[in-house]
Copies of this chain bind each other. A is one copy, B any other.
Amino acid sequence: MISEKMRNMVKNSSAIRAMFEEGKKLAALYGAENVYDFSLGNPNLPAPAEVAEALKSEIDACDALTLHGYMSNAGYEDVRQAVADNLNARFGTDYTVPCIVMSVGAAGGLNVFLKAVLDPGDEVVVIAPFFGEYANYVANFDGKLVVVPPNPPTFQPDVKAFEKALTAKTKAVIINTPNNPTGVIYDENTLNALADAMRAAQARFGTTIYLLSDEPYRELVFGSAKQPYPAKYYENAVSGYSFSKSLSLAGERIGYLAVNRECADFDDLVGALGVATRVLGFVNSPSLIQRAVAKCLNASVDVGFYEKNGAALKKIMDECGFEYVEPQGAFYLFVKAPDGDDAAFCAEAKKHRLLLVPATGFGCKGWVRIAYCVSPATIEGSRASFKALAKQYLN
C-alpha cells in the first residue's frame, strides 16, 4: 500500500542497504577491524570543543522559551545576522538577515529551495558526477533532472556540454564544489564560464536560471588549494550550506541557504523559502543547535586529518597502480575501475573486505568513490586488500 514512486525508491535503497548488511556480516566473520568500510560520508572526527561549550552555554544562559520555542520559519534573527556577518567578512559578500534561511542540513535547504521554485516539468541541470540524492530531490517536486556528462580526467565541467544542457525550461543549476564524489574544486575560470553560459541562456530564453551551490565541503580544502565562493560569480545564486562536515554535526541537521541580494525576485524568493520550510514540515531548523553553531562560525575540525588520510590512501593507490583524481578538498578519492565496470569492481573489492561505492549512482559509470573520513588505521589496514585487488585487475 505504499506509493508507486516510493516502491522503486525502496527497491533501489535496498541495494545499498544490502551492502551495509554485507559489511556487518563481514565484520562478524573477520572482525570489524579487518573490514575496511569506505562507503559512508560520516565524519570520523569529533565536533570541535567549541560546539559542546556553545551548547552548554546556551542551555545555561538562554531563556528556555527562546531556546526551545518556535521562531520565524527562517530561523532566529540574531543567528541569521551572525551567519550573514561571518560570510560577508570571509567572502566580501553583502548578505543581510533576509538573505539567510536556516535549514535542516543542506539536504533540507536544497529541498526547500526546489519546492520554492519548481513547477512540474521544470528542468534542473546537474554536472556529473553529482551527489545521487539530487535526483530524488528534483523528483520530489516533479522537476526533470538534466545531466551534463562527466569530463574525465580533470572532472572540471565540460562548458560546451553545459551550454547545450540549458534550455527555456531550465529553472536551476546545482553545482557542488569541493565535489562529492571527486574531491575536485571548480576554479575561477570554471565558475566564470558557467556563469557566462547561464547569463547567455537567460538572455536567449528570457528566463531566470538560479544557481544552487551546494557547499557542505566548503571548509574542507587542502594545502594551497582555494575554493572561490561560487555566489560571487553569478547574480542569481543561492548557496546551500551544512555544518555536517566542517563541525562534524552530520546528525544534527543544521545548515542554511544564503540568497544573493541581487537575486531575481528576491522578496518573492525569500518569502517562498520561509513558506516552503513550513509546509514541507521542517517548520524551522532545530533551535538549540541553531543557536550553538552561530557561536562556532569560525570553528572547524582539523582539515589536515582528512588531507593526511587522503595522502595515505593515494600512496596505497600509487603502490597498487590504480588511477585516481587528485583531490583538492572534501574527503573522497575517486578511483577508476580498471575495466570500466564499477559495480563488478566494488563486488570484487568486497571479497577483499573493502567497501567502496560504485559511481554509476553519481552519474559516472566506470569509477568508484572511496570515502576516507575514516580512522588512519582503517586506511593502513586496507593496503593488503587493495594490493590483492590490484593483482587481480592490473597484472
Contact = CB atoms under 8 A, between A and B. Distances in A.
Interface of A: 1-7, 9-10, 13-14, 40, 42-44, 46-47, 51-52, 55-56, 59, 63-65, 67-71, 104-105, 107-112, 115-119, 122, 133, 136-137, 140-141, 171, 207-208, 210, 248-254, 264-265, 268-269, 271-272, 274-276, 278-289
**Residue among A7, A133, A251, A265 with the highest chain B CB neighbour number at 10 A:** A251
A55 B51 contact: no
Contacts of A268: 1-2, 7, 10
A2 B272 contact: yes
Does more than half of chain A's interface fall in helix, strand or loop, or is it mixed? helix
A272 B65 contact: no
Nearest to A142: B142
Contacts of A10: 268, 271-272, 275
A68 B279 contact: no
Nearest to A107: B281
A286 B269 CA distance: 27
A140 B279 contact: yes
A364 to B, nearest CB: 21
A113 to B, nearest CB: 10
B3 A284 contact: no
A211 to B, nearest CB: 13
B108 A281 contact: yes
B252 A287 contact: yes
